[in-house]
Structures are given as C-alpha cells and as structure tokens.
Amino acid sequence: MIEINLLLIFIIIAAIVAVEVKDLLSSVVAVGVAGFGLVISFLALKAPDLAITQLVVEILCLIILIRATIKIDLPFSTSGRWFVNTLACIAFLVIFLSYGYAAISSLPSFGNPLMKTSNFYLGETFKTIHATNVVSAINLNFRAYDTLGEATVLFAAAIGIMAIMRKKGKLTKAGKDDESE
Amino acid sequence: MSTYFLCLILFCVGLYAILRKRNIIKMIIGIVICEYAINLFLILFGYKMNGRSPLYSPDQQILDMVDPLPQAMAMTAIVISLATTALLVGIAIRIYEKYGTFDITKINKLKG
C-alpha cells in the first residue's frame, strides 16, 4: 500500500519534470523514467505479464520519440495571453479534480475489487482450458475476438504510418515528384 | 482511496500538457502520460490486498488471486497506445518537414 503510493508519487514527479523541462530530449528521457516507474509499479501490483509488455513498449516508444526530437531544439516562447491561459487551464483542472474525487469516492475501496466476471474466468481457466496463465487465457481464449480487433487496429495504424511517412508522392505529368504541393 | 486520487493527479498532469503546451512533442508526451495513468488505474482497480499473481501452478492450490480481467484489457490498451504514439510522432515529423517548427501557433498556413 505505502510502496505503491511512493511509486505513484515518483511517477508524478517524473511526469511533471517531463512536462515542464525546456529541452525536448530531457523531456523524452523523463517520460522514460515515468514509464519504467510504471513497470515497477505493475510488478508491485502483481501483474507480471503487463510489466513485460510495458517494458518492451516503453523502449520502442522512447526510440520513436528520440527519433523525432534528436536534432530539434525549440526555444520556449511566452508571448500571447500567458497568464489568462494558465489561469483558465488550472481552473478547469481544479473542477475536473473535484468531480473526479466525487467519482472515485463511490468506487469500492482500494484492495477489495468486484470480482463477478473474474471469478468465472479464474474457475474455468484451469478446469476447461488447462492453462496456467489466466491473463493469456483471457486474451487468447475467452476474449479472442478482442485480440483480433487489437491486431486489426495495430495494422491499421501501421498502414497510416506508412501513408504519412512515405517520401515519394504521386508523379505529375512532367514526371517530377509532386512533393511541394 | 488516496491511491486512486494520486492516479487522478497523474492524469491531470498529462491533461495540463495537452491543454497548455504549444510544442507538439510536449502534447504527445501529455497523451502518453494520460495513457500511463489510465492503464495504472485499471490495474489499481483490480488489485486485491495481499493477493497473488494470476498464475496457476499444477502442484499447489492458490486461492487469493488479483483480478485478471483488467490486466488482460490493459494489455490490449498498452499495445494500441504504442501504435497511436507512433502515428502521432509520424504526423509531427511531417509537420516539422513542411513548416520547420513544432510550435502550433506558427503553423498557420493550413488554408488552400
């Protein structure tokens, strides 16, 4: 309980550093710190499959973000209505937090989950599927169509990245690349 | 209770970055932090006090497991979040090639 709170405070500090630091590469590294804190908190919350997945995803995400920011440095600009914008943003966040506090007050308390559906899965996994890993059994057996949809979304995103990042456009009549328009 | 509230504060840090920052990379970082907060909230919601990992062993009887269903759902969400982050970074790189900046107030040539 107390170690999970400490890990969450660590992640929040890393996230604040990532949002507020001026250098973009330092910001990306601070996001990596938050992600690896998340991996450790998944391990502390007894979710080892998720910790492995998050570790791989975190490293790939870091590589992609560093690819975007490695040669680019942007000066920080405070022009415009800086004070009014910040005040409006913080007011919105305070309202959001108060409503969120009211919402999480009605949830079951931490450490006592509702396990209506999960008790079925926990009972059936070893009896009918003979699998030992319950999370894999849910992903690949009970809810296999969900995983199929996930793979569809993944390939759709890959096609989108290919369409955005390709260098050559359509050929014009003159035979040149139509990159300028 | 306080654990849920800390998770909500983490979400608010990401929301602040999305709403307030002008750099596109900072906004993407805000979206990534929001994804972290939501995944962590799902796992916190399924945690049983002094529970065990949802792994059966053929030899021994394990009784008090944590909730496996949020873990399976969050695993799907984590993989999809990687794909969306890669898509966002791709769009940001193309915007930088076209306009030479990541500042959203300088990107004003969208007409025609």
Which residue of chain A has the CA closest to B98? A180
- 3-state secondary structure at position A72: coil
The pLDDT of B83-107, averaged and rounded, is 84
Find the farthest-apart pair of alpha carbons in chain B and give their distance in angstroms, rounded. Answer: 69
Q: Which residues contact A46 (CB under 8 A, 6 or more apart)?
A: B47, B51, B52, B53, B54, B66
pLDDT of residue A128: 85
pLDDT of residue A176: 57
A85-89, A102-106, B31-35, B59-63: segment of lowest average pLDDT: B59-63
Neighbour-count burial for B54-63, b at 16+ CB within 10 Å, e otherwise: bbbeeeeeee
| Closest by Cα among A140, A157, A156 to A148 | A140
pLDDT digits (tens, 9 = 90+) for B9-39: 999 999 999 988 888 888 999 999 999 999 9
> Are A104 and B1 in contact, with CB atoms under 8 Å apart?
yes
CATH number for position B86: 1.10.287.3510
- Give whichever of A8-17, A79-88, B95-104 has the largest mean pLDDT: A8-17
**Cross-chain residue pair B12–A143, CB shorter than 8 Å:** no
> Are B17 and B29 in contact, with CB atoms under 8 Å apart?
yes
Mean model confidence pLDDT for chain B: 86
Domain ranges, residue B26: 2-49+64-99
Q: Would an 8 Å CB–CB cutoff place B89 in contact with chain A?
A: yes
User: Any idea where the domains of chain A sit in the sequence?
Assistant: 1-72
d(CA A55, CA A48): 11
Please tell me what DSSP assigns to residue B22: -
**Cross-chain residue pair B12–A107, CB shorter than 8 Å:** no
pLDDT digits (tens, 9 = 90+) for A24-50: 888 999 999 999 999 999 999 888 899
- CA A103 from centroid of its chain's CA atoms: 22
The number of helix segments (H) and strand segments (E) in chain B equals 3, 0
For the cut 50, the answer to whether the pLDDT of residue A181 exceeds it is no
For the cut 80, the answer to whether the pLDDT of residue B109 exceeds it is no
d(CA A78, CA B4): 34
Please tell me what DSSP assigns to residue A109: P
Count of the separate structural domains present in chain B:
1
pLDDT digits (tens, 9 = 90+) for A58-91: 999 899 888 888 776 666 565 667 788 889 999 9
For residues B33 and A165, the model is more confident at B33
Question: In this prediction, what percent of chain A has a pLDDT beyond 90?
Answer: 32
For residues B66 and A99, the model is more confident at A99
> Are B79 and A153 in contact, with CB atoms under 8 Å apart?
no
First to last CA, chain A: 57
Residue A52 phi/psi, 5-degree rounding, is -65, -45
Structural domain contains residue B105: no
Which residue of chain A has the CA closest to B38? A38
Strand partners, B55: A133
d(CA B19, CA B71): 29
The pLDDT of A93-120, averaged and rounded, is 87
Angle between helices B2-20 and A2-20 (to 10 degrees): 10
Neighbour-count burial for A156-170, b at 16+ CB within 10 Å, e otherwise: ebeebbeeeeeeeee
For the cut 70, the answer to whether the pLDDT of residue B74 exceeds it is yes
* A-proximal residues of B, 11-40, CB under 8 Å: 12-17, 19-23, 25-26, 28-30, 32-33, 36, 39-40
Structural domain contains residue B88: yes
**Cross-chain residue pair A31–B1, CB shorter than 8 Å:** no
